[in-house]
Structure 1
């Protein structure tokens, strides 16, 4: 067994990230991979800063990853290779013309091949049946072009290893919104896309009043019609209950808190929804491993401070180290220099501190931890700005207007799903609760990873229980809280995802959102027997609590899902990190 990584992490590294020779044989150790990445990022730092010895900084970056305290989004593990593209998130623009659509499709293919994921706003495309003056024909509509992009993604593997990931966004007032809402009702359709409906404030207000909204498109005024907001909302909730999609984006809220409105308006996000971006922007993400930041029964705040400040420097350096696939992307990325630092291992931290996930104490901790990370990230970005200059779009930004000290980066904090890097870090993903005591994770083509939650075994031993016998009982019961004979204090301490009422999932997302410049990607998991009303309530609560978007998933509502409790089929979901 490797000294740094467990078996599951090694499988992922060997499949995706370790260097290979011309025959396909792995020729790089995990340690050498980390040295390559750390060296490349430190070399980029030296080109723009020079305030720290390059070899010393490379060692610090290496230790940060080797100690599993932080990982960047997985494309950044290609750093040090020729022409490596290191960002995870991209948003590409579309115009209502065939030339624009195919130009964007070609750009997306290149980005997918390099390991990135793409988001698109299809609202600009005229609705199906609208007249096309140049040809005298009729338009096929946004959903048909989403199908086109899906087929392209199917044949272009990310980095030659896996299919790409996409987000399709459509405004709630687009005439084809019902077709979009139901686009994934057929199993297997658009498997390379996540779908999100962009809800406007006007729609939410109309819904509250019981009013209608107008569905319209500037290129097809003849297609305009009025529809009850409730009819649209009900269709969204029903499809989300049936199969987990579409999700929601609260697009006006996203733009109200957008730091650079003078540069443009945000209309789309990356594939998992946590990074709203302007057209042609890219963003590099990274996550701090909270599972290793508990000391003496409390959060090790000083160590967390050190990790955050070094991680911000790392992520800013990635912008210098990356090879951009297209000039407009380089221009926009350098203009705002957005980064997204988040967390993983939050559920592990709660277990270590003896705090139930579904408790006010957990919400308070979430608020404190993310608030601390955001404040320290601001300090780090301001320090970089003193030496390197603020991001070029600083003048006229909301940050300048708010009186924030000049920043190197227009955004700093984001909570990503961490699907891959949490495996490398050996911790629970993102801010999600423990999924089950033992899960089958389907992350590699043709392979599965069976993972036991190590902290649960440790707790059982500490309680004087036979771990193998007790784990077998828990598996049979479905979760610790449903297992007879377990101490009540232990049941309360280790809930798994379906023990937790949906409102606690949403409240946790909102607690982290309060301190995120960008957004939070979190799945509101519902049990298989959850009623439709639970989906509606989750959507409404997310709006009320200030979330920027929401995704729900009812257990077993699809034939496939990423995490299972051994017996349930799965779906491969895009992971941003």
Structure 2
């Protein structure tokens, strides 16, 4: 054990400048609470401060037990790990223990790496903390086993983690049971488990429960499983057509939509994929007898999967043969399932604790990579995670036994996309693939090398001898894959040389001593912890957008350009003046497209996961496949990744992507087609306009203006949209309805002032001549243009434009609940008749365009999880989960 980041002469905390910060958060009652005098380093952004304070600081607010300093939070975790390391024999001497603790403290303090959320939630707060984020459960074709599965999931969710299970052992709905009837089938039990998950907030208060349900392609109920979420998505469309606002995830209507707490994946074998290739047949088989249930064209089943994913984003695909070919404990049992985000894949009834390294912190100013610092960080984090295995608690004895016998770890990384951007490499490029492969190889090679060294001191994992052949065989396969990295596309040779050295050590020491951990690395989505590390991209993902909202210390937000953009421009050789103008253009337009001085050949470097609102470019799904394929041969487990596809993608193209992913050796593949989720803020209610025609006819014939007295009542409402403050003043008639409005922004140019004045005059005239406020609101709400973003109004947490905010505010202030319901905002009445009518809607309401998707959609469809249910911020895909860019709320259990 040696010091790299710390010094024996000074405490890690003494080397940084500490500042006091203030954070606003909501208590259990939903009330705003201001926490002042919080202690954080000066280089931590306000957003990272907000994440740490609201998600990970422990103790009841207002009590002495409440954490108010990052020092306390880090010490709580590091001190516990150090104590356990000494207790379990990992840290042999007091000096070694102190060096380890100082190095780990420095790594966490400087945002070089972070543990998964359950460690921050639970470590040091209770004697038996649950520290693993990922669990894989087992269920058998027995009622007690099914009930135990649901109970165990609930316990896992309670402490902030996620779980996956393969339901293929359960008999199909057409199979008989002992009492003479028919089985309920897996989907019936899925509904029950999904409802339980929906009732439990993961980690107590801050996260939604996360679950994965897997079914093998030969199960007799596979067609129902494939279509399960597709059918629920059609229900969402039906509710929207009936007038329900399904953009609000807190709307009670969502309680009628099933399977919303789980990611679904179909397990396919190489045999099935070859049948698809050659247009062969595929048979499903009854679980009780093994007899053929149905025979399909393999392509027919694959087309069903592609069509369902096109329409709803589910199911994903897991390539069973590839997964088990890389299995390190194959002699103990096969891999049947994964965690919710599909990065942890190992034995049933097992667990994995995760951590992620912030790659960008190892990129030096001259764009060289700090190889030895990175290797040291891997060693420290692997040792810390290994110690956590023995100190953690587990929800069942069988999970505890497998966790101790196989000691699965999941070290990964975040900020790859931002690092590639800073280096001037397009995400979809040979250079990006080479760097991804080399860095991933270095990480996993060093992790297994460290695992073998730990094994030389305290022994290999107990299941090693039984699995010596598959374990060492997989290590050899990893090392052999180094030859496929294209060294000519690396700007420096040190990374690949270090990777070869690490893998040589892993294989040699592994043969001599065994390894301490059956699994060492995965790439998780890293949603919340990536934000706490101030990452500009999560997991293996590319940069999501170049213009982001930055939280300010004094409250509010401002738009800033991603910090990697100017660095990339400098790397590409642009002058300072050119960089300034390109950055200014990007901030104003939201895209680099059309920026002055920017060369056409450099545009690809700045491509993001999705096209910006004012741009057309985005990374091709093939580019995503290329990067994941480069990393997968060097990862113990799998990779959680969103394969983004544009709105106009067809099911046929999705089917093609499945074939390419399989051929590339990827273990898990899930697509998100832009706009595949139909729930969106703007709800058009059919049949509501007819009653307005007589009123409009009357206005034409009798244009009577309703005058205001010289002295009239008025109210002024202050608002803030993405840091832009403004004031809305409205005069009120004696009957309580609005008569005129005035709009003023705190900072505005003459053009914007003139436009707002013109709008206010037009609206005031309309109100005075009898145009209903509801009719005006219907035209203006949800219109999209800048400034847009987070507001300070809990009733309107996010505004899509100034006019959107103003008319939603006026509607909430003056209209009835029934009128709000018809507009698709506010609280909604429970209407049993309307709910019943949903079932009787014609097929046209729920039909999808499939292969005839429009090439140029007139608007960008916003799927339900775009808006965070806690703060109203933007939700982005992080692997198979979604994470809020503002508050860090995650829909999964892997961050």
Q: Aligning the two structures, in what range does the TM-score lie when normalised by the shorter sequence?
A: over 0.9
Give, in whole Å, the separation in 2 of the partners of 1:196 and 1:484.
45
Using the TM superposition, give the Cα deviation of residue 72 of structure 1 relative to its aligned residue in structure 2, in angstroms: 1.4
Matching of residue 548 in structure 1 with residue 647 in structure 2? no
Matching of residue 493 in structure 1 with residue 605 in structure 2? yes
Q: TM-score normalised to the size of structure 2?
A: 0.61
Give, in whole Å, the separation in 2 of the partners of 1:439 and 1:325.
40
Using the TM superposition, give the Cα deviation of residue 176 of structure 1 relative to its aligned residue in structure 2, in angstroms: 0.9
Matching of residue 346 in structure 1 with residue 455 in structure 2? no
Does the 8 A contact of 2:526 with 2:894 survive in 1? yes
Instruction: Work out which of the residue numbers 182, 207, 212 in structure 1 matches 2:227.
Output: 182
Structure 2 match to 1:311: 381
Give, in whole Å, the separation in 2 of the partners of 1:520 and 1:309.
21
Using the TM superposition, give the Cα deviation of residue 534 of structure 1 relative to its aligned residue in structure 2, in angstroms: 2.6
Does the 8 A contact of 1:437 with 1:474 survive in 2? no
**Cα deviation code 1:375-403 (max 9, x no counterpart):** 11121111110111100011031124566
Using the TM superposition, give the Cα deviation of residue 152 of structure 1 relative to its aligned residue in structure 2, in angstroms: 0.5
Using the TM superposition, give the Cα deviation of residue 80 of structure 1 relative to its aligned residue in structure 2, in angstroms: 1.2
Structure 1 match to 2:690: none
Using the TM superposition, give the Cα deviation of residue 231 of structure 1 relative to its aligned residue in structure 2, in angstroms: 0.8
Give, in whole Å, the separation in 2 of the partners of 1:313 and 1:567.
36
Pairing of 1:141-540 with structure 2 (within 5 A): 141-161=185-205, 162-185=207-230, 186-187=232-233, 188-219=257-288, 224-295=293-364, 296-397=366-467, 398-400=470-472, 404-405=510-511, 406-427=514-535, 428-439=537-548, 453-456=562-565, 462=576, 463-466=578-581, 469-475=584-590, 479-481=591-593, 486-488=598-600, 490-498=602-610, 499-540=618-659
Distance 1:27 1:308, change over 3 A: closer
Using the TM superposition, give the Cα deviation of residue 242 of structure 1 relative to its aligned residue in structure 2, in angstroms: 1.5
Pairing of 1:101-120 with structure 2 (within 5 A): 101-120=146-165
**Cα deviation code 1:118-166 (max 9, x no counterpart):** 0010111111132212x22221211111111111111112121222100
Moved more, 500-509 or 155-164: 155-164
Query: How many equivalent residue pairs?
Result: 568
Does the 8 A contact of 1:130 with 1:223 survive in 2? no
Does the 8 A contact of 1:156 with 1:163 survive in 2? yes
Give, in whole Å, the separation in 2 of the partners of 1:146 and 1:484.
54
Does the 8 A contact of 2:134 with 2:351 survive in 1? yes
Does the 8 A contact of 2:81 with 2:387 survive in 1? yes
Structure 2 match to 1:574: 892
Distance 1:563 1:51, change over 3 A: farther
Distance 1:153 1:417, change over 3 A: same
Give, in whole Å, the separation in 1 of the partners of 2:561 and 2:867.
12
Structure 1 match to 2:754: none
Give, in whole Å, the separation in 2 of the partners of 1:245 and 1:365.
31
Give, in whole Å, the separation in 2 of the partners of 1:524 and 1:563.
17
Does the 8 A contact of 2:419 with 2:564 survive in 1? no
Higher-Rg structure is: 2
Using the TM superposition, give the Cα deviation of residue 56 of structure 1 relative to its aligned residue in structure 2, in angstroms: 3.0
**Cα deviation code 1:70-90 (max 9, x no counterpart):** 111111112112121100010
Does the 8 A contact of 1:270 with 1:277 survive in 2? no
What is the alpha-carbon root mean square deviation over aligned residues? 2.6
Pairing of 1:119-130 with structure 2 (within 5 A): 119-130=164-175
Give, in whole Å, the separation in 2 of the partners of 1:362 and 1:281.
34
SS in 2 for 1:383: helix
Does the 8 A contact of 2:81 with 2:388 survive in 1? yes
Does the 8 A contact of 1:394 with 1:400 survive in 2? no
Using the TM superposition, give the Cα deviation of residue 13 of structure 1 relative to its aligned residue in structure 2, in angstroms: 2.2
Does the 8 A contact of 2:437 with 2:631 survive in 1? yes
Structure 1 unaligned spans of 5+: 442-446
Give, in whole Å, the separation in 1 of the partners of 2:559 and 2:229.
29
Distance 1:569 1:314, change over 3 A: closer
Moved more, 10-19 or 459-468: 459-468
Using the TM superposition, give the Cα deviation of residue 27 of structure 1 relative to its aligned residue in structure 2, in angstroms: 3.2
**Cα deviation code 1:469-498 (max 9, x no counterpart):** 4124542xxx43466763335523221113
Does the 8 A contact of 2:175 with 2:286 survive in 1? no
Distance 1:331 1:177, change over 3 A: same
SS in 2 for 1:288: strand
Does the 8 A contact of 2:308 with 2:314 survive in 1? yes
Structure 2 match to 1:45: 85
Using the TM superposition, give the Cα deviation of residue 222 of structure 1 relative to its aligned residue in structure 2, in angstroms: 6.7
Using the TM superposition, give the Cα deviation of residue 11 of structure 1 relative to its aligned residue in structure 2, in angstroms: 2.3
Matching of residue 81 in structure 1 with residue 125 in structure 2? yes
Does the 8 A contact of 1:344 with 1:431 survive in 2? yes
Give, in whole Å, the separation in 2 of the partners of 1:126 and 1:416.
32
Does the 8 A contact of 1:87 with 1:283 survive in 2? yes
Distance 1:535 1:439, change over 3 A: farther
Moved more, 502-511 or 56-65: 56-65
Distance 1:383 1:539, change over 3 A: same
